[in-house]
Structures are given as structure tokens and as C-alpha cells.
Amino acid sequence: MSGKSNKPQGYESAMAELEQIVADMEAGRLSLEDSLVAYKRGAELLAFCRSRLEEAQQQVRVLEDGVLKELSLGDNL
């Protein structure tokens, strides 16, 4: 386990790394020490992904008459 602590390149790469960590932990391929490092890295990746999702959600909102309003895609689909 490399114990990466660097910032992911993007949401997709963070999710891929997180999925690999989960797979390794579920398969029992990690020692206790490596599991702890992986858990910490997973928590960092999860926080990164949540942050990216929140940013994307904010970008979907539109300013209409001075009030933030959710963008409705229902009519355009």
C-alpha cells in the first residue's frame, strides 16, 4: 500500500482509487497497518468526492430574479 496523500486529479480518479481501496480491504489483501493507511486515504477521497459533488450542485443552480433557484431539467428531457 503506497499511502498516497496527494490530491486526486479529479472526481473520476478519486472514485476509482476509492473503489480499489474498498476492493483491497474487502478481499483481505492488506495488513492491519496498511488497512489503517487505506482507511485514512479513503476518508480523504470521500471528502474530496463530496466536495466536488457539492461544487457541481452549486453550478447547476441558476440566478433568477435575485434568488437562487434549482435548475429544472424535467421540461428539457
Statement: residue 27 has pLDDT above 80: yes
**How many whole angstroms separate alpha carbon 42 and alpha carbon 63?**
35
User: What pLDDT is recorded for position 77?
Assistant: 44
Statement: residue 18 has pLDDT above 50: yes
Q: State which residues form the domain around 32.
A: 11-76
Statement: residue 14 has pLDDT above 70: yes
Residue 52 falls inside a structural domain: yes
Statement: residue 72 has pLDDT above 80: no
CATH number, residue 52: 1.10.287
Share of the chain above pLDDT 70, in %: 70
pLDDT band at 68 (very low <50, low <70, confident <90, very high): low
Q: What phi, psi does 3 have (nearest 5°)?
A: 65, 45
**How many whole angstroms separate alpha carbon 59 and alpha carbon 74?**
17
Domain total of the chain: 1
Residue 62 falls inside a structural domain: yes
Residue 59 falls inside a structural domain: yes
The model's pTM is: 0.69
